[in-house]
Amino acid sequence: MLDQERKMAIILEQVLQAAVENGREAARKSDAFSQGSTFAYYDLLTIALENAEVLELDPREIGMLDFDPDKELLPGQRRDAA
């Protein structure tokens, strides 16, 4: 049986993974709602990564392997921007 801390960690990891996926999807769209959503995901995910760094956690431990919000979510920085 999982202890309370492990259960919370699993939920946090799943929420962050969903935010990464949804942020990537919103970043591919150009309508105003999607642009606003992209910035909201950017803020959320940047905060998570900054806190992971402060707490000396590897981003992989919170479900954010190889994710760079600056490159993937900011306009003009995205890989698909041309």
Entry pTM: 0.84
Reported as a pLDDT band with limits 50, 70 and 90, residue 46 is very high
Instruction: Give residue for tokens 């992989």.
Output: 60
H-type helices in the chain, by residue range?
4-27, 32-54, 69-73
**Whether the Cβ atoms of residue 75 and residue 30 lie closer than 8 Å to each other:** no
Q: pLDDT digit string (tens) for 51-65?
A: 999 999 988 888 888
Reported as a pLDDT band with limits 50, 70 and 90, residue 33 is very high
What are the residue boundaries of the structural domains of the chain, listed by start?
A: 4-72
pLDDT at 40: 97
pLDDT at 63: 80
